[in-house]
Structures are given as C-alpha cells and as structure tokens.
Amino acid sequence: MEPTTAEMRTVTADGEYRMGPRDTREDAVRLATEAAKRHALEQVATYLESVTMVTNLDITSDEIRTYTAGLILVLDQQISTRLDGDTVVIRVDLTAQVDPDDVVQAIATLRQNEDARHELAALKAEVDQLHQQLEAANQALTSATTPDQVQSVSQQRQHLLNELQANGLVSQAWTDWVLVTPVVNPSPWTGLGQVQGLLVQAGSVNPRNPHIPIIQRVITTRVGAPPPTSPPSSASSPPPTLQQIRPAPPSPPAATSPRSRPPQFAQTRSPRSLPPTLHQIHPPPPRPLPRTPFMLSHQAPSTNSQPSSGRGRHRR
C-alpha cells in the first residue's frame, strides 16, 4: 500500500567562497550563503521528486524548485573561516527541514492563485539569471586591472546580491500571502503584517525592485489599504534566531492584542514563531520577523528524521 504521508526531511548543505585580494569578507559570506541555499534547495527538490505524493501532483522539477524555497525552514546556519595556503575560504553550513505533506498542500494552493503562480515563476527565472550574472561579475572582478574597474565591478556585484536578497523576500511574501493570511481570518491583518514586513525589508535592500508594487497592488485590491497603525503587533515579540526550532512562549499573546482586530480572533489558532526559510537568510541579516505557520496543520514532526548524507560544495 502506498504511504499516505512522508517523513519530515532534514538536509545539510554547505557553500564556500575562496576570497581573492579584491574581495571583502561581507561579500564572501553572502556569496557562500547563496551557494549553500542553492545546494539545500537542490537536495530538497531532488528528494521531493521521489515522493509519491508530490509526483501525483503532475508537477515539473522546475515548479518544485519555484514553490518549495519558501517552505524550507532553516534550523541552523554556521559561518566559518579557514586558510587554504594563502587563500581565505569562507564556508556557510546550513541545516534545513521540510515537511513533504506541507509541500503537497502548499503547492496545490499556490498553483490555484494566478497572481502568485505567475510572480513566483517570474522571480525564479530572474533569480536564475542573477546567479549567472553574479558568476560573470566574479570573473570580471578577478580580471579587473585598474582601481576604477575594481570599484565598478564590486558595486555591480553588490547590486546583484541585493537584487537576489530582495527577490527572495518578495517570493517569501507571496508564499506567506497565499498560505498564512487564511489562517488568521476573520482578522487578516496579522498575516498581512507579516507579508508587509517582508516587503519593507525587500524595499530597504532594493528600493527599485519591480515586483514589490505588484504584490502590494494585489493585496490592496483584495483586502484594502492597511490600517494607519501598522506595523503589526507581532514585531514587539522577540524575533526567532536561526538556532530556534521552537518559538519563545511570550510570542502568541502579543499577536492577539491590537484594537484593530476583533475579539473572536483570540479563539482562532494562535500564531507561533517559526524559523526563517531559505528566502530569509541573507548576511548581514535584516531584522528577523516572527513568522506564523501556514494554514497546513499536521502532527508533531517525527523525532527520527534522518539527515541527508549529501552535502553541497561550492568552491571558487
């Protein structure tokens, strides 16, 4: 008999960047983090392609990667530095987790939302192009011969990294808009506050990101203009760290107290903080936002999850 559920999957992945004389440590950490994120996503996507529940969705490999990054929780992130001869090597190690049951239901929900489906696909295609441009910028920096060229290419690379970071946050905002907002009805502003917080972060990284006005327009059309007393009350609760798997207990009460929310909201499922997703880890980290769970509810994660033995490796 085919299993009706799949076990929670935990993967470990790493990315490395070998610094040259024109690299800064900040850029090196960001580049190594991007590599680790890609390797983690690839491991999860490869695993999901073998899960019967996912294959029954009649979904392409590219679609799995498009929808899944916003569902992969990062339980731990470690940054280390070592010397390899005269070369400084920056390494980022990630431990990430995904629930295949959540993925199946989330993909089905996201595919039914035309706006989210179109924008997530566009963002995924743009991110792939940005990674190619980033590789070219790294090579151009290595071959630059004058100080002006070094400065120009370095600024270009930082802009590309900022675009990647902003696009990831916008992608997470779409995922949360579709999956989190229904949880908090009839008071949707808790979920929308979470989404708006992601968009504020994206705008601070890349104010000209063309995808931000699109999701803001969709939100305004569907729900109306936000109340003037934003940001949401959940911002007052302590933000989760990358090491947190369970939330701090004080968080749920703070999310139910604002005057703008009806009293019956206290009787709905209480929001709880979750670890960040792949979209949300970018060094230097922005101010973390407490994340409420998706509308998908399952039993507690299995304690015998087996970590993946494969580890990504990105060397330059």
128: nearest Cα among 100, 80, 168, 177:
168
The model's pLDDT over 158-205, given as tens digits with 9 standing for 90+, comes to 999 999 999 999 999 999 988 876 654 445 555 688 889 999 999 999
Answer yes or no: is pLDDT of 244 > 50.
no
269 vs 26, higher pLDDT: 26
Answer yes or no: is pLDDT of 268 > 80.
no
pLDDT for res 227: 54
Each domain of the chain, given as residue ranges in start order, spans: 9-260+268-280
The model's pLDDT over 50-107, given as tens digits with 9 standing for 90+, comes to 887 787 888 888 889 999 988 999 999 999 999 999 999 999 999 999 998 888 888 8
Output the CA torsion 187→212→273→237 (10° steps).
-80
How far is residue 312 from each of residues 44, 186, 233, 234, 260, measured CA to CA in Å?
A: 12, 43, 39, 35, 46
pLDDT band at 6, cuts 50/70/90? low
Q: Are 74 and 95 in contact (CB under 8 A)?
A: yes
Does the pTM exceed 0.85?
A: no
SS3 92: strand
pLDDT for res 294: 52
Q: How many helices (H) and strands (E) does the chain have?
A: 9, 3
